[in-house]
Structure 1
């Protein structure tokens, strides 16, 4: 990397640094939960280095920081990965006190092969399978999250944040502009940070929960959009901290409020013609459209362990509470797990409403695309279109993490798409986390069982 490397940075990064001296570069990579891991280095050192190293054991840690027994046959020796910067991801860290850039890195082993359990590599693997068929997958994620009061005592319930009016954020005010105005200062910083980072927000709306917001992103390349969601989670947290509140992406942070989802819209283009594979020459729905839906229906039960990765994730799947519990598909029907939004033929797409916002964006998008890919390759046909209120059914997805992991571990076809070694490591890490959770005695148990059983 030459001393003038900043001249090849993305336009937004160059604009951020215009007339300023770059102090530091954060070299980062996503771990399994989606936490940014890496190193901060002086800009002068970054200009001289081609890559840096981190141990592969960062992918074997649980969300609590404990270690799972997910190492390979070499044993737990913490082999170094070679991390190489993807300079197209270079972007500002505008909340820092000095002039700092963030750069996402790709992970390879000492032989130059992609590390199979690095989440970004998992998504790239799935996208490459589409490319091999002459297809270009396109996604558009929607991010739901809560702004909540600071909570530094895990024993206490999470409360809505205090709004601009001095009153706690109100629930059941979906799409209210007044409710959005309550969070004006935080939203202003989110917009400012996003602009500095070169991200285009399609819109911000108030959702149904107290202090719950949704940000929609423009459709595009799956890896690029996953990078943006990865960055956005950090960006939003930093904006919230400036205003004495927390941003949380937990699937179900407040007991009586709706959960937070990461809805994923999918379409597929022909790489040669640019045409939407879901629409025929006369604008009608194609076999590929139905087969993609069929794949989601067939394989989403196994993929739920990736899209709902924690015990808390399953608290979101509550009947009649703004989260799907089924794999039905319907047109313009938000009670179905698979929704076909209103659109013209060119924009025809399929929305997966099952993924939680707590999932790793690379893995959540990869799992959803993998299900659709299998449907296309196996020419699966979906069930009959559902009409009416799908909440009236009993549901057909796993309802606990243990059940979801059982289903995931048996899904060899899904493993082949995501990568068998990723599936092995992911299953072991999540089992370890689940066992950690089972060792914790909850307040409910102490309240109702201590003296009654």
Structure 2
């Protein structure tokens, strides 16, 4: 029998350095993007070709509660079949033993992909492009905060303490000195990423106190979503080594900018040409229609790009977050930005998604909006050449409104999967009900004795 490690990426084999792994973490992404699965001895993993988890893991809320979804499996909790995707095998270099992580494909017992699985949702959207002879390419940017350890939810989140003994400073965007404040964490991020075979395009200080951005090289949407899924865990582990937390909350600290996951898009045809650029390097109909699709359909998928009540705290004017769906060339006030690039690298940057979104779902939603725009030949509005913050063409400002738009977006449901759309909506509404049971410090301060 062929050794399964022969199918693993070179980085995983280099990490093992000729030795056998000791443990395998078999994992999938749930709706929030949390890794679910099983850890097992490597010898046992090598002897089996699949394992099982209940399909209802996709009905679980971020609090650990369970939504009641009107689908047959909610009552009986049948298993789904998980088979390893060996191409995703990667090191877990923070562990004490030789551990590899492997993402698994999820199928129904009767055959076919599990509809509610986020990775399958993205695969479904990519397949829709492939059916049209197209290959989508994405490049994500990941923003996050390094913060002081916080074990009491009643306490406000504070910036981490840097090597100088001072709290990380805000308003230091692109400062190399600010990056050096937490150089130890960044060194571990680089070391872990190298061990896992991930290529970082760059790390910069963002505008918030302790806020960083990591850019990843462009590539396949599923591969890049896998990497973000792995990266979130990698970054958290690097932070814990230095007595701080890494957080991907959209808005963790009051009066500081939020954290986004900007998504750059381009599309390649069967001949390897970028369809956003014509034979004379001009912008094409496909380029305009993709923008038009984003402008028209993004409000309907904002619930996927901004999945929590906290997500909407990020959409504040003048806090480096878009509150509009305008488009413009090299214009960072616009929700849809066209970066400076050569014609063969012409791309569209969606700046709406928060870093708290599930990467599979965020990328799938954005690609689906652009594809619908091309199918519908939707023309964009006029380019915004000024301050797009003045625009009133915005995204929903709260989760409940976003879910109302999502529930009525049937064309998008067909692309993403109607069953997924049903499950997602019920889970998010259950989370919203859970949130309403929590009383915030603001309410206690201003309402307790004043109303």
- Name the TM-score, length of structure 1 as normaliser: 0.99
1:142 correspondence with 2:144: no
* Contact persistence 1:13–1:198 (CA under 8 A): yes
After superposition, give the CA deviation of every residue in 1:214-268 in whole Å (9 maximum; x if it has no partner): 0000000000000000000000000000000000000000011000000000000
Residue in structure 1 matched with residue 446 of structure 2 by the alignment: 448
Q: Which runs of 5+ in 1 are unaligned?
A: none
**1:71 shift after superposition:** 4.8
Shift in CA distance, 227/113, structure 1 to aligned 2, threshold 3 Å: same
**1:4 shift after superposition:** 2.4
- What does residue range 217-228 of structure 1 map to in structure 2 within 5 Å? 217-228=216-227
* Contact persistence 1:24–1:42 (CA under 8 A): yes
Q: Whole-Å Cα distance in 1 between the matches of residues 426 and 133 of structure 2?
A: 34
Residue in structure 1 matched with residue 294 of structure 2 by the alignment: 296
Q: Whole-Å Cα distance in 2 between the matches of residues 194 and 70 of structure 1?
A: 38
Aligned length: 451
RMSD value, Cα = 0.8
Q: Whole-Å Cα distance in 1 between the matches of residues 71 and 3 of structure 2?
A: 41
Residue in structure 2 matched with residue 39 of structure 1 by the alignment: 38
Secondary structure (helix, strand or coil) at the match of 1:262 reads: coil
Q: Whole-Å Cα distance in 2 between the matches of residues 366 and 60 of structure 1?
A: 19
Residue in structure 1 matched with residue 114 of structure 2 by the alignment: 115
After superposition, give the CA deviation of every residue in 1:398-441 in whole Å (9 maximum; x if it has no partner): 00001100111111111111110000000000000011111111
* Contact persistence 2:90–2:102 (CA under 8 A): yes
Residue in structure 2 matched with residue 282 of structure 1 by the alignment: 280
1:63 correspondence with 2:72: no
Residue in structure 1 matched with residue 50 of structure 2 by the alignment: 51
Residue in structure 1 matched with residue 416 of structure 2 by the alignment: 418
Secondary structure (helix, strand or coil) at the match of 1:76 reads: helix
- What does residue range 233-382 of structure 1 map to in structure 2 within 5 Å? 233-270=232-269, 272-382=270-380
Q: Whole-Å Cα distance in 1 between the matches of residues 304 and 93 of structure 2?
A: 31
Q: Whole-Å Cα distance in 1 between the matches of residues 94 and 72 of structure 2?
A: 42
Residue in structure 1 matched with residue 167 of structure 2 by the alignment: 168
* Contact persistence 2:323–2:335 (CA under 8 A): yes
1:392 correspondence with 2:370: no
Q: Whole-Å Cα distance in 2 between the matches of residues 238 and 3 of structure 1?
A: 33
Q: Whole-Å Cα distance in 1 between the matches of residues 250 and 206 of structure 2?
A: 14
Residue in structure 2 matched with residue 133 of structure 1 by the alignment: 132
- What does residue range 85-234 of structure 1 map to in structure 2 within 5 Å? 85-234=84-233
Shift in CA distance, 75/259, structure 1 to aligned 2, threshold 3 Å: closer
**1:57 shift after superposition:** 1.0
* Contact persistence 2:55–2:73 (CA under 8 A): no
Q: Whole-Å Cα distance in 2 between the matches of residues 61 and 35 of structure 1?
A: 11
**1:3 shift after superposition:** 6.4
**1:70 shift after superposition:** 1.4
Secondary structure (helix, strand or coil) at the match of 1:101 reads: strand
- Name the TM-score, length of structure 2 as normaliser: 0.99
Q: Which runs of 5+ in 2 are unaligned?
A: none
* Contact persistence 2:68–2:74 (CA under 8 A): no
Q: Whole-Å Cα distance in 1 between the matches of residues 167 and 73 of structure 2?
A: 54
- Higher mean displacement: 389-398 or 280-289: 389-398
